[in-house]
Structure 1
Amino acid sequence: MNESTPARRRRALNPRQSDLLAAVRQAGTLRIEDLAQRFGVTLQTVRRDVRQLEQMGLLARYHGGVRTPVSTVENLAYTQRQTLNAQAKAAIAQAVARDVPAGCSLILNIGTTTEAVARALLQHRSLRVITNNLNVAAILSDNPDCEVIITGGVVRPRDRGIVGEASLDFLRQFRVDIALIGISGIETDGTLRDYDVREVRAARTIIEHARQVWLCADASKFGRPAMVEVGHIAELTRVYTDRAPPAPFDAMLRDADVACVVANPAG
């Protein structure tokens, strides 16, 4: 009987590679430096292991790190995204909060990163926040000096995002100072991408009805594929991330005059 391809792949791995694969699958994403420290080997050894695992289709690399392979048609489960890169998201959120002035109007869209931003805004004063994310609304409702406005529409049970035509019609009534948006991936051609067409239509509407657009995206989003186009990196005002964007994104941001704020997860 012929062995299946996955069985042949598992047989080809040495114990360290098997442990490395298990660690990444558990965490979702890990930095190359962290893997080298964890397994007591050189960066070159980790890169060699990762390259072999990538060739087998078991892992995917991004600038400075490695992650489990992603689908272009289906996002990770919401509960998994909540814990994925949580430290980076918290650092990004704090950097955003430092730059959000008191007394401004905001739109926050669907996503775990924008939920982290909402938590970082709990001490802000005189904000007016519009959102199609019930989690964001619940978080910011604890700030007595913040007016929270939620869109109408259909609530998705998996993440409490609000989608549909009613949501779009509601968003079109406003023009806010700043849109704070998350995204699932940024392709190497600079397109901003996500998975759900309804969510993308809401994000597109938000971009079109904001004076400034601030993208909040941890480093794993650079080069990550997804099926539906939201817009282009050149439409942004600022990008908040946890590591300096790799090529070609660094040049794209400079050419489009998009400010890039790099938050340090270590503080």
Structure 2
Amino acid sequence: MAHQIDNAPAKADGPQHNESKADLRRSTIVRTLMENGTAQIKDLAISLGVSLMTIHRDLNDLQDQGLVRRIRGAVTAEKSMLHESSYVFRARQFVDEKRRLARAAVAHIDPGNAVIWDDSSTTYHACDFIESVTPVTVITNAIPVIERLRDVADIELIALGGKYHRVYNGFFGLACEKAIQSYHVDVALMSTTTIQGLSLYTQDEQVLRVKQSMIRIARKKILLVDESKFHFSALNHVADLSVFDVVIVPQTVDERIIQYLQQNGINLELV
């Protein structure tokens, strides 16, 4: 998977912007190490366009989380911890932005709806707002959503089984896909690894198949995309953006991207 970070739009300076840039760098480092296992520290600095001092600060943070280990000018993924920590790491990124997206998504859900809900760390934040539209039925393969909503009154919770995947902290595989196909729902609440052009992509085939299954059974399809998703590429095409009734994105996304999507008929909601 190639990482396309050089074309990130420039924004005004400020503490929030600096934090977002650091989060984006650290996410890129984690992705690189998940793919390659190891990298030279100086190569990371060059590819990310930052100083060695900045890279060392990023690596200190990742090392404190138990995700990486430095060895003689290189950095390697802590394999035993990386898979266990991957979802937790993603869940800590861009939290305020993801909450805005989730609040806007829940506004498209009506009481009485059946909602299928993917395993993304973005859609998870809809847990904070879903009680405003209860009663609802929630169908999900995401362990964090199941744990969060299991005791919430007026939510009928249906857990999709299948093969447990530690990286995504959810269920996937043939059993999960078959279970999805047995339902028809009002709303699909989804996110994605990346947006490239007019399509969404992911790096994992089993994630692709679950997302495509969710798309097929939903009357209304809602996609939540934080700003960082426009700076990466991934191998597997999931769907065209045109299949979604609404694509919710933050106002911080580059105006050129916004205009391009709108000119091609994508129904965007800016939050």
Question: What TM-score, normalized to structure 2?
Answer: 0.68
Post-superposition offset of 1:244: 5.7
Match of 1:112 in 2: 121
1:199 maps onto 2:240 in alignment: no
1:159 maps onto 2:155 in alignment: no
In structure 1, stretches of 5+ residues that fail to align are 1-21, 31-52, 61-67, 69-73
- Deviates further, 96-105 or 244-253: 244-253
Q: Distance in 2 between matches of 1:100 and 1:132?
A: 19
Among residues 46, 55, 59, which one is paired with 1:56 in the alignment? Answer: 46
Post-superposition offset of 1:182: 0.9
The answer to whether the Cα contact below 8 Å between 2:25 and 2:48 also exists between their aligned partners in 1 is no
Among residues 233, 238, 255, which one is paired with 2:241 in the alignment? Answer: 233
Q: 1:253 to 1:202 in 2, by over 3 A?
A: farther
Match of 1:42 in 2: none
Match of 2:99 in 1: 90
Q: Distance in 2 between matches of 1:142 and 1:90?
A: 21
1:218 maps onto 2:188 in alignment: no
**For residue 144 of structure 1, what is the amino acid of its counterpart?**
A
Post-superposition offset of 1:142: 3.0
Among residues 110, 116, 121, which one is paired with 1:101 in the alignment? Answer: 110
The answer to whether the Cα contact below 8 Å between 1:135 and 1:160 also exists between their aligned partners in 2 is yes
Q: 1:227 to 1:167 in 2, by over 3 A?
A: same
Match of 2:24 in 1: 28
Q: SS state of the match for residue 99, structure 1?
A: coil
Deviations 1:52-83 (A, max 9, x none): x99931259xxxxxxx9xxxxx9993222111
**For residue 107 of structure 2, what is the amino acid of its counterpart?**
R
Q: Distance in 2 between matches of 1:244 and 1:25?
A: 13
Post-superposition offset of 1:90: 0.8
Post-superposition offset of 1:250: 3.1
The answer to whether the Cα contact below 8 Å between 1:29 and 1:220 also exists between their aligned partners in 2 is no
The answer to whether the Cα contact below 8 Å between 1:175 and 1:209 also exists between their aligned partners in 2 is yes
Q: Distance in 2 between matches of 1:182 and 1:101?
A: 20
Post-superposition offset of 1:206: 0.5
Aligned residue runs from structure 1 range 43-192, under 5 A: 56-59=46-49, 77-187=86-196, 189-192=197-200
Q: CA RMSD in A?
A: 2.9
Q: Distance in 1 between matches of 2:90 and 2:171?
A: 18
Q: 1:125 to 1:179 in 2, by over 3 A?
A: same
Q: Distance in 2 between matches of 1:214 and 1:107?
A: 10
**For residue 142 of structure 1, what is the amino acid of its counterpart?**
D
Q: Distance in 1 between matches of 2:49 and 2:125?
A: 27
In structure 2, stretches of 5+ residues that fail to align are 1-17, 27-42, 51-57, 59-81
The answer to whether the Cα contact below 8 Å between 1:168 and 1:202 also exists between their aligned partners in 2 is yes
Q: Aligned residues: percent identity?
A: 21
The answer to whether the Cα contact below 8 Å between 1:204 and 1:230 also exists between their aligned partners in 2 is yes
**How many residues in Structure 1 have an aligned counterpart in Structure 2?**
206
Question: What TM-score, normalized to structure 1?
Answer: 0.69
Post-superposition offset of 1:139: 1.4
